[in-house]
Amino acid sequence: MKKKEQGFATKAIHVGQEPDPSTGAVTVPIFATSTYVQEEIGKNKGYEYARVSNPTRTRLEQNLAALEGGTSAHVFASGMAAVTAVTQCFLKQGDHLICGHNAYGGVPRLFNQVLAGYGVEVTYVDTSDPAAVKKALRKNTRIVWIETPTNPLMVLTDIKEVAGIAHSGGAELAVDNTFMSPYFQRPLELGADMVMHSTTKFLNGHSDGLGGVIVATKPVHAEKLAFIQKAAGAIMSPFECWLVLRGVKSLAVRMVQHDQNGRAIAAYLQKHPKVKKVLYPGLTEHPQFELAKRQMTGFGSMITIETGSFDNAQKMLRKVRVCSLGESLGGVETLISHPATMTHAALGEEGRREIGLTDGMVRLSVGIEDADDLIEDLEQALAAI
């Protein structure tokens, strides 16, 4: 009988998570060491210095590569450190980068205020329109950077189509897959070259750490990313690696519950008279519902609503009790935030206006609490508007 490939949940629990060979411990140990004893000059067990490699980190990298279906994974101290690593590895002075125009605010902040100083040009494009990506391609375009769905407008990009366009121009496609996690969306299978995650979010899943990962597909990616871990040093700590290894074990069941709650809350908000608009790819009213069904296997739990004004958003956010007001997303608890003053403050008023991000928008990262309790909380908070 042909050996069938393991399923997602099995991989999440077992790849890189094999019992410790020296003790039989079922969980991967935290190797809290800065260096490794060497038998003689040039003879070691594959580990020399912790910035270069660490066994807890190796295990996490094996696990995340398997979950995204890549050939390598490299983890960093934060999602932004992972984005930075991509720029350090694959962009040099005179190169051009295309970036989706409503990516997480920290990404354009890095590109505009750091990368531009090194002579890399960036063009922001509405990547939900593949023709716009094609038009923006130049001879020196090296990377097309997309986020799908976007934060917080929940706009989708057709990964397969944009991968084809990027490749036709000799560029590579990198996808920030933080919102969906590999459980609901696997960009590499659709033709992307690299996937990035803020592991801070769904992969960790418990709002108790900070990290980032790049999963890639080519030997040159693995080589350069390992080099930049060593050369620049923004690596993930062994303790954080352990937290993410612990977190991904329940990723499959968490995502199912996030998705179920996300659909229930979106349907409730859709009918609420005080809510002017609900942005959620699982609603048939979402303009890209068909694409969502095609390239994702679930809709997740990120929802943005339009309350109508800053004042309304403020009134509502002051009242929430079960939902916690705060930045970030992807934890087991429901987080609610105000993108204009939080995650997307760095874009500036004009930047936000250009992409349609208003002061009345409120973003929910729906957790895995009982949906009824969340609805009751939102009901009393929306009554304040």
Ligand X SMILES: Cc1ncc(COP(=O)(O)O)c(C=O)c1O
Give the nearer residue to ligand X in terms of CB position, either 31 or 104. Answer: 104
Give the nearer residue to ligand X in terms of CB position, either 302 or 371. Answer: 302
3-state secondary structure of 67: helix
Count Cβ atoms below 10 Å from residue 207 Cβ, excluding itself.
19
Helix (H) or strand (E) holding 145: strand 141-147
Give the nearer residue to ligand X in terms of CB position, either 305 or 375. Answer: 305
Tell me how far, at minimum, the Cβ of 305 lies from ligand X, in Å: 18
Interface ranges with ligand X (CB under 6 A): 78-80, 104, 106, 147, 151, 176, 178-179, 198, 200, 210, 212, 328, 343
Give the nearer residue to ligand X in terms of CB position, either 106 or 308. Answer: 106
**C-alpha distances out from residue 161 to 43, 52, 174, 207, 295, Å:** 48, 37, 13, 34, 11
Tell me how far, at minimum, the Cβ of 201 lies from ligand X, in Å: 6
Select which of 57, 59, 104, 124 is catalytic. Answer: 104
Question: Is 176 a catalytic site residue?
Answer: yes
DSSP 222-267: HHHHHHHHHHH--BPPHHHHHHHHHHHTTHHHHHHHHHHHHHHHHH
CA nearest to 304, candidates 352, 355, 351, 266: 266
Give the nearer residue to ligand X in terms of CB position, either 67 or 107. Answer: 107
Tell me how far, at minimum, the Cβ of 78 lies from ligand X, in Å: 3
- For residue 56, how far is the Cα from the chain centroid? 21
Task: Say how many CA atoms lie within 13 Å of 7 toward its Cβ.
Answer: 6
> Amino acid identity of 220?
V
3-state secondary structure of 96: strand
Tell me how far, at minimum, the Cβ of 365 lies from ligand X, in Å: 9
CA nearest to 75, candidates 192, 191, 247: 247
Tell me how far, at minimum, the Cβ of 6 lies from ligand X, in Å: 28
Select which of 95, 158, 176, 377 is catalytic. Answer: 176
Select which of 51, 274, 277, 315 is catalytic. Answer: 51
Tell me how far, at minimum, the Cβ of 82 lies from ligand X, in Å: 8
The phi and psi torsions of 130 (rounded to 5 degrees) equal -55, -30
Is residue 382 within 8 Å of 274, Cβ to Cβ?
A: yes
Tell me how far, at minimum, the Cβ of 330 lies from ligand X, in Å: 8
Give the nearer residue to ligand X in terms of CB position, either 179 or 184. Answer: 179
Select which of 57, 186, 201, 249 is catalytic. Answer: 201
CA nearest to 32, candidates 245, 244, 241: 241
Paired sense of beta strands 72-76 and 361-365, if any: unpaired
Give the nearer residue to ligand X in terms of CB position, either 54 or 181. Answer: 181
Between helices 371-382 and 251-271, what is the axis angle to 10°? 40
Give Dmax over CA atoms of the chain in angstroms.
73
Helix (H) or strand (E) holding 60: helix 55-68
Is residue 238 within 8 Å of 56, Cβ to Cβ?
A: yes
Active site residue ranges: 51, 104, 176, 201
